[in-house]
């Protein structure tokens, strides 16, 4: 029996595209809010004995987590054989440590919730900084697929003589993989974050050698845009051409996209893990392959 995909609100188009790739069926389902703000979920397609994949990109996660957990629970209570989460953007990965006494380490809390609800989790480039792999957080099999080759293909097709630039140490793993695949040089800058919107970027000295190349700034998440704006500004001051800014996940806090486009940058593009006007790099094939790998692992 084919896989049954359940799309959380906002992920319907992605679920339809994945259904075509996986020869899967999209479930009829209702998600709505009661007048008091609580969430109502109903699955109308029988799930008995089937593999159910809940498709949900988890940007704005506080609006989505109850619906996600209710959908997984409804699938299971209606007899699903296994229930898998396909979350192209996996939220709550950045608070992976306690920086001040009393803080909740939300990466671990959310991983516990999702591990209790799902048999496997698939994500694209989850933010792994102080934690090396999803397996350190999740109690169920996880598949983290990398957008590096798709990003490299985009750069190859659209940017002449690139130098790939990471704005901070955490970006080193994506930047290195993309640069290697392109056979291009790469530079990783240094970031100091003092607050949500208070970011300073430095460490430009090592980049001087590559000034004649087009800088391609690459980060996993663009949220306030302060990291990208700071890095693009530093490159400009150092005499580089305007940067091509590429983010994997178009999280974009209010005004951030406009702020970044107003900075002196060549263009702002993102992968389509979160639907956004900046999407230019499609990852459906990658997510479908990740799902197939996850299903093979859990049998």
Active site residues: 191
Q: Is 89 helix (H, G, I), strand (E, B) or coil?
A: coil
Q: Which of 199, 217, 232, 268 binds ligand R5P (CB under 6 A)?
A: 199
Tell me if residue 20 falls in helix, strand or coil: helix
Lookup result for tokens 């990965």: 93
Q: How far apart are CA 266 and CA 204, in angstroms?
A: 19
User: CB atoms < 10 A from the CB of 82, how many?
Assistant: 18
Minimum separation from the CB atom of position 117 to ligand R5P (A):
26
Contact 174, 218 (CB under 8 A): yes
Identity of the residue, 50 or 127, whose beta carbon is nearer to ligand R5P in the bound complex: 127
Which listed residue (143, 168, 257, 263) binds ligand R5P by CB under 6 A? Answer: 168
Of the pair 134, 291, the CB lying nearest ligand R5P is at 134
**By the 8 A CB rule, do 222 and 232 touch?**
no
**Nearest CB to ligand R5P, comparing residues 5 and 145:** 145
Nearest-angstrom CA–CA distance, 247 and 93:
16
Binding mask 227-266 for ligand R5P (x = CB under 6 A): x---------------------------------------
* Least Å from the CB of residue 222 to ligand R5P: 5
Q: Which of 16, 19, 7 is nearest to 44 (CA)?
A: 7
Residue span binding ligand R5P (CB under 6 A) among the ranges 31-39, 63-71, 145-153, 217-225: 217-225
Q: Would you tell me which residues interact with ligand R5P (CB under 6 A)? A: 127, 168, 170-171, 199, 219-227
């Amino acid at each position: 029996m084919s896989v049954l995909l359940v799309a959380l609100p906002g992920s319907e188009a992605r679920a339809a595209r994945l259904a075509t790739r996986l020869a899967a069926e999209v479930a009829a389902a209702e998600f709505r809010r009661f007048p008091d703000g609580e969430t109502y979920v109903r699955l109308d397609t029988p799930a008995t004995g089937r593999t159910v994949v809940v498709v949900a990109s988890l940007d704005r996660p506080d609006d989505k987590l109850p619906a996600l957990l209710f959908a997984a629970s409804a699938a299971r209570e209606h007899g699903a054989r296994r229930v898998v989460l396909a979350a192209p953007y996996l939220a709550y990965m950045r608070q992976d440590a306690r920086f001040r006494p009393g803080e909740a380490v939300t990466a671990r809390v959310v991983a516990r919730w999702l591990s209790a609800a799902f048999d496997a989790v698939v994500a694209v480039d989850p933010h792994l900084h102080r934690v090396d792999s999803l397996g350190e957080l999740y109690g169920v099999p996880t598949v983290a697929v990398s957008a590096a080759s798709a990003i490299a293909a985009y750069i190859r097709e659209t940017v002449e003589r690139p130098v790939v630039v990471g704005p901070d140490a955490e970006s080193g793993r994506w930047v290195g993989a993309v640069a290697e695949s392109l056979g291009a040089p790469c530079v990783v800058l240094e970031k100091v974050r003092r607050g949500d919107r208070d970011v300073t970027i430095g460490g430009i000295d090592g980049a001087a050698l590559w000034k004649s190349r087009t800088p391609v700034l690459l980060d996993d998440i663009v949220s306030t845009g302060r990291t990208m704006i700071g890095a693009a500004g530093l490159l400009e001051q150092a005499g580089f051409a305007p940067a091509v800014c590429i983010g994997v996940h178009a999280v974009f806090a209010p005004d951030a996209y406009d702020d970044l486009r107003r900075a002196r940058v060549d263009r702002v593009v993102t992968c389509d893990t979160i639907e956004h006007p900046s999407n230019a790099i499609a990852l459906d094939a990658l997510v479908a392959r990740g799902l197939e790998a996850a299903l093979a692992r859990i049998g």
